[in-house]
Amino acid sequence: MIAREGIRVILPIFFIAFILSIFTLLSASILLRVIFWISLILFLPSIYFFRDPNRLIPDRDNAIISPADGKVVAIENTEDGFVGKGKRISIFMSIFNVHVNRVPFGGIVKKVNYKKGKFLAAYKSIASFENERSEISIDSDRLKFTVTQIAGLIARRIVSYLSVGDAINKGDRYGMIMFGSRVDLVIPENVKIKVQLGDKVKGGESIIGEIL
């Protein structure tokens, strides 16, 4: 599958490459051939970047799943205005990771807060507080948590499909961040963390924690 944001990027590139391929066959122009190969080179990485593979969502009621593909770069004590005391788990997404984000646990969206900020390297801890980001707070009868999409040094566009009041399920696609970024998950103290620093995780599939 291709992420919905990718269609608007991939289709124009494909159309240009297709038209140029016809003209290239009918013409001996070196310039046309160069432009055709450039468009083809752009087309293939675009498909790779905007890929959106299906994931096998863990069938465990107490499991909290990863919101993103990437590497766990921080597990820190924190205090969140919505969650209270808990842990912040930060996942760094390189440009080679799938960039579609998924809901860690089902519930009702209570807050959506977009904050403008800097574009520091997303693997740095300070990025959680200084960078441009979209914070989404979700509540259920078993868990309150906040998941934050954070822009990075290259990533300059955060996409979220959620609004306050939306009912969402574990594993639902809820947005993406383009070209390398970071996702923070804040969960309360009654969750047993199931990952360690350096672990590589898959969004919608890897278990981040379990409700005790």
Identify whether 105 is part of a domain. Answer: yes
> Do residue 32 and residue 71 come from a single domain?
no
Query: Once rounded to an integer, what is the mean pLDDT over residues 197-212?
Result: 95
- Both 125 and 166 in one domain: the answer is yes
**68, pLDDT greater than 60:** yes
pLDDT per position as a tens digit, 164-201: 999 999 999 999 887 768 899 999 999 999 999 999 99
Same domain, 189 and 144: yes
Within a domain: residue 58?
Answer: no
Token pair for 5: 């944001």
Portion of the chain with pLDDT greater than 70, in percent:
82
Residue 57 predicted with pLDDT over 90: yes
The catalytic residues are 181
Distance separating alpha carbons of residues 212 and 208, to the nearest angstrom: 13
pLDDT score of 156 more than 70: no
Please give the distance of CA 98 from its chain centroid, rounded to a whole number: 7
Both tokens of 47, joined, read 């498909």
Cα–Cα distance, 74 to 88 (Å, whole number): 7
The more confident residue out of 153 and 202 is 202
**N-terminal to C-terminal alpha carbon distance within the chain:** 35
Same domain for 129 and 192 = yes
Instruction: Tell whether the model's pLDDT for residue 155 goes beyond 60.
Output: no
39 and 77 share one domain: no
Decide if 173 contacts 180 (C-beta within 8 A).
Answer: no
Quick: pLDDT tens for 72-99. 999 999 999 999 999 999 999 988 899 8
Does 27 have pLDDT greater than 90? Answer: no
- Look up the domain containing 154 and give its range: 63-211
User: Is the pLDDT assigned to residue 6 strictly greater than 80?
Assistant: no
Asked if residue 29 and residue 128 are part of one domain, the reply reads no
Domain count, the chain: 2
More confident site: 143 or 51: 143
Q: Where does the chain show beta strands of DSSP type E? A: 63-65, 70-80, 84-93, 100-102, 107-115, 133-139, 144-151, 158-160, 167-168, 173-177, 181-188, 191-193, 200-201, 207-211
Does 127 share its domain with 32?
A: no
- Quickly count: other Cβ atoms within 10 Å of residue 165's Cβ: 9
pLDDT band at 115 (very low <50, low <70, confident <90, very high): confident
| Residue 207 belongs to a domain | yes
The reply to whether 30 and 119 lie within a common domain is: no
Pair (21, 85) in one structural domain? no
- Greater confidence (37 vs 60) lies with 60
Average pLDDT across the chain, whole number: 85
What does the alpha-carbon distance between residue 197 and residue 86 come to, in Å, rounded to a whole number? 17
**The pLDDT of residue 166:** 95
User: Do 167 and 207 belong to one domain?
Assistant: yes
Judgement on whether residues 67 and 45 belong to the same structural domain of the protein: no
Report if residue 98 sits inside a domain: yes
| Strand, coil or helix: 45 | helix
Same domain assignment for residues 44 and 113: no
pLDDT at residue 118 in the model: 75
At 107, the pLDDT band (50, 70, 90 cuts) reads very high
Q: State residue 66's pLDDT score.
A: 97
